[in-house]
């Protein structure tokens, strides 16, 4: 009986999409596609996304209310600043949600706020806030540029587990190489949130999570990572 040797192992073609996800992104980032993606994913996960935003807003509101109930201006300002810092730290939740959605996972309020990289995130947030503050004092425009160039630091901390300084540097390099597209994404996000604010602020419950999903989409696309459909 003749023996037929088995066929050789053929390696898969490059850039094969993983099951249930898109392959590594290539080509220029399309802002319109990012907006459409964010709207589709918001509709799919509206409940948990609105819940995450409400948690952050609630912390800021409590800080604002306490500020005006404390008669000592200096003490009231300190209390408000502390609550504001806590709210900024809680943006871990919406960044994690954006990362999970673009990875093809379902975000849940009970898990998005948990991370073992909290220390790096807080330190990076302090560096980011200081850079934006100093830049704003120096004629405003440097502060805007700092916010743009360093704005992806949270994604690098939570997704690639970089340290505080490394995440700031990685964000700077990403934006420097793709400034035009990143600026368009941020401009569209600003306009969306402006519309949301004009709708008595209620619209921000839709536009704010949409914008964070757009940022997550842009982050993955510009890093050549797979994006879940």
How does pLDDT run across 80-138, given as a tens digit for each residue?
Answer: 777 777 877 889 999 999 999 999 999 998 888 888 899 999 999 888 988 988 898 88
Q: How far apart are CA 156 and CA 219, in angstroms?
A: 9
Assigned token pair, 1: 């009986």
Maximum Cα–Cα distance for the chain, whole Å?
A: 97
β partners of residue 226? 24
pLDDT value of residue 177: 95
Q: Report pLDDT for 187.
A: 96
Task: Read off the DSSP letter of residue 224.
Answer: T
Contact 53, 209 (CB under 8 A): yes
Predicted confidence (pLDDT) per residue in 43-70, tens digit: 999 999 999 999 888 887 887 787 778 8
- In this predicted structure, the answer to whether residue 150 has a pLDDT above a threshold of 90 is yes
CA torsion through residues 183, 197, 217, 51, sign? positive
Burial class (CB in 10 A: 0-12, 13-18, 19+), 220: buried
Least confident residue range of 36-45, 69-78, 149-158, 170-179: 69-78
- Domain ranges in the chain? 31-221
Return the C-alpha torsion angle 179, 32, 121, 168, nearest 10.
-10
First to last CA, the chain: 50
């Amino acid at each position: 009986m003749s023996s037929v040797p088995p066929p050789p192992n053929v390696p898969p073609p490059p850039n094969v999409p993983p099951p249930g996800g898109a392959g590594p992104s290539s080509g220029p980032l399309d802002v319109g596609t990012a907006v459409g993606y964010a709207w589709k994913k918001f509709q799919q996960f509206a409940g948990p996304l609105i819940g995450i935003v409400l948690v952050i807003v609630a912390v800021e509101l409590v800080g604002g209310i306490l500020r005006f109930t404390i008669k000592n201006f200096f003490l009231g300002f300190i209390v408000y600043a502390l609550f504001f810092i806590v709210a900024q730290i809680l943006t871990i939740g919406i960044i994690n949600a954006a990362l999970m959605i673009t990875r093809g996972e379902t975000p849940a309020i009970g898990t998005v706020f948990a991370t073992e990289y909290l220390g790096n995130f807080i330190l990076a947030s302090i560096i980011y806030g200081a850079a934006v503050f100093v830049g704003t004092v120096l004629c405003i425009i440097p502060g805007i540029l700092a916010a743009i160039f360093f704005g992806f630091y949270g994604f690098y901390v939570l997704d690639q587990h970089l340290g505080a300084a490394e995440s700031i540097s990685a964000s700077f390099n990403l934006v420097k190489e793709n400034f035009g597209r990143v600026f368009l994404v941020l401009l569209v996000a600003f306009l969306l949130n402006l519309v949301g604010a004009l709708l008595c602020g209620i619209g921000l419950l839709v536009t704010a999570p949409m914008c964070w999903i757009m940022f997550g989409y842009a982050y993955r696309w510009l890093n050549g990572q797979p994006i879940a459909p």
